[in-house]
Structure 1
Amino acid sequence: MKRIFTLLSSLALVAFCAAAAFAGTLEDKVVVYSTHGESMLEAVADAFEAKTGVAVEFINLKGELADRVRAEKANPQSDVMYGAPSSVYQELKAEDLFQPFTPTWAAEVDPLFKDKDGYWIGTIQTPVLMFYNTEMLSAADAPKDWKDLADPKYKDMLVFRNALSSSARATYTALLQQYEKRGEMDKGWTYLKAVDANTKRYYGSGSLQFQAVGRKEAAISFAVLNSIVDNQIKNKMPLETIDAASGSPVITDAIAVIKGAKHPEAAKAFVEFAGSAEVQALLARKFNRMPTLPDALDEAPAWMAKIKFKIMDVDWGALASKQSAWMQKWDTEVKDSAKDKK
């Protein structure tokens, strides 16, 4: 496995207390299932191994993570679940798949970003914003709110991720919940079908989604904020975010110890380490991930404090039991339904 040794100096003293607290009791390895990218996972794994001597085996499962953890309930093959939205964690908590654990830094995390019973805790807050290619649309012509995506004037101007993307799942269901609150679920499904009618293509890959917008195959999409910023800065894409009038969903990417983990002490040590302020700050600087810890946010890139957006009112706990069924319906009855009629 390729390692990013240049980051080790930045983390030389990270989580010393965490390592010491588990000294002499840690197993020789920890297995981590995640939705995070390999370069970020390697950065955290390298530093954890350097500090504790515990080998980290990680598997990037993207949208298949929850199903994998479920399938292994009787005989868990992982010790830690790292990444994916809090709604997924709440769903799996209800299925008795996590072991409660409270890291030392948990008290500093806003209740919005953690489970009240200690079964999971957020390490990254992830806003999902609409954006557009400024070489294809002016600010005046761009959507002002999510409801505008259903306007026929945007026909074939939209590209999105499919439901395998955890951020897309969270966004589609958050939008549906706004209709459910008003007792208008039928209108919610009608809205999503209208958006589908305007959608040129769904992608299983975030990089392909951004490439399509960058090549001007479509003008409008939505994505997690850090990915938008990455493509603005690193790939010089002419992108502009949209502060939706009704707010944008803010996903909490979390971490948890798997119930029945074969390496439980190493799992707890990894959770303690991965969510520490030092690691959160490093991930903010190196990977544009927005921290949940205030101390880490103080050390984050300036844009995180400067960018302004309204937060959508989403009850993630209520979504936990509905997300899978709603997304199954979206996948079978909404996605590409307009194309089926052509």
Structure 2
Amino acid sequence: MGKKLLGTLAAFTLTTALLTATASAELEKKITVYSTHSESLLEVVADAFTEETGVQVDFINLKGALADRVRAEKANPQADVMYGGSSSVYLELKKEDLFEPFKPGWASTIDPLFRDSDATWFGTIQTPVLMFYNNKMLSAEEAPKDWSDLSKPQYQGKLVFRNALSSSARATYSALLQQFEKDGQLDDGWEFLKAVDANTKQYYGSGSLLFQAVGRQEAAVSFMVLNSIIDNRENNNMPLEVIDAESGSPVITDGIALIKGAKHPQAARAFIEFAGSAKTQALLANQFNRLPTHPDALADSPVWMSETTFKVMDVDWQDLAAKQSAWMQKWDTEVKANGKDKK
């Protein structure tokens, strides 16, 4: 059923929500979307939205610079929609009054964990971040069992990670620190990250370069969003094994929001309706292995999304939003060793 969906996306009829949007106000002829999603994913969503509404979509993949770009343009926004990035980033920007509240028709369908109670942002993708290893280099017995193992001497030179420009890496490093802080041991958390850095061979600004390094057996262990691990294992035949960490793994919510002061607000609202719909989420599940937040999308998604289980780390994302920027600045200047960062 999910595969048939891919061939019929262009023939979607307008949803009730989109009809309401077009009835209440004429849609502008174009919108601009700032995102952290890949250009291939953005192109699929943009083309389908244009096919359905006639609205042209200009999109820019800003990776880790997304939040700073939206901040810098607060007085004169150049984008209409922010699409992608972790919930902690959305919570941070919400406090800076950068979003316009808007509740799409599908909002009440998703779990409250994946949406803002004030309707400023909503999750369209749930993104577990899990450790993994190359099973040609390590056996299951030799591989880490929990995040705490990453600081052990036997993993010296066997780790590679993303740098803090990656929103998933920022959220993961911060979530690990928070586990120490909750026990009143934040200083120990920093010492842990320094020990992990000492074991780290390289940091990468690109996920593809990181996977290439693990695939070439330059390092054995890393962490990444689950869909990327599955994709590289299934489509690139990499010998990767997922680690279900004993203390749980962070589950990031990738969001979407209407930027305050957007120049094309009606078309932007229609795009949000479209991007979070069950049909679009199922499309991204099938084509890009993105795990939906919309429960109705799972019925048309790959089987592994319903069958893969993992322990979830207890993360206070609201608290994390207030501390993440300062923590990651400290990580970048005081923890990460110079010379280990690659573009």
TM-score range, shorter-chain basis?
over 0.9
* Contact kept in structure 2, 1:197 and 1:337, CA below 8 Å: no
Change (3 A) 1:14 1:133: farther
Equivalent-residue separation in structure 1 for 2:338 and 2:148 (angstroms): 19
Change (3 A) 1:15 1:83: farther
What is residue 3 of structure 1 aligned with on the other side? Answer: none
Deviation at 1:10, TM superposition (A): 2.4
1:20 is the counterpart of 2:19: yes
1:110 is the counterpart of 2:139: no
* Contact kept in structure 2, 1:15 and 1:276, CA below 8 Å: no
Equivalent-residue separation in structure 2 for 1:151 and 1:240 (angstroms): 20
Cα RMSD over matched residues? 1.3
Q: Which amino acid aligns with 1:323?
A: Q
Matches within 5 A, 1:230-309: 230-309=231-310
Which aligned runs of 4 or more in structure 1 are off by greater than 3 angstroms? Answer: 6-9
What is residue 84 of structure 1 aligned with on the other side? Answer: 85
SS at 2:149 equivalent: helix
Equivalent-residue separation in structure 2 for 1:31 and 1:7 (angstroms): 25
**Aligned residue pairs, count:** 334
Deviation at 1:337, TM superposition (A): 6.3
SS at 2:92 equivalent: helix
Give deviations 1:243-295, integer Å, cap 9, x for gaps. Answer: 00000000000000000000000110000000000000110011000000110
Change (3 A) 1:14 1:32: farther
SS at 2:319 equivalent: helix
* Contact kept in structure 1, 2:9 and 2:48, CA below 8 Å: no
Q: Which amino acid aligns with 2:198?
A: A
Unmatched 5+ stretches in structure 1: 1-5
Equivalent-residue separation in structure 2 for 1:338 and 1:276 (angstroms): 44
1:32 is the counterpart of 2:33: yes
Deviation at 1:19, TM superposition (A): 2.8
* Contact kept in structure 1, 2:85 and 2:255, CA below 8 Å: yes
Matches within 5 A, 1:120-131: 120-131=121-132
* Contact kept in structure 2, 1:11 and 1:278, CA below 8 Å: no
Change (3 A) 1:184 1:338: farther
Q: Which amino acid aligns with 2:229?
A: I
Q: Which amino acid aligns with 1:303?
A: W
Unmatched 5+ stretches in structure 2: none
* Contact kept in structure 1, 2:131 and 2:223, CA below 8 Å: yes
Deviation at 1:9, TM superposition (A): 3.2
Q: TM-score, normalised by structure 1?
A: 0.96
Change (3 A) 1:338 1:264: closer
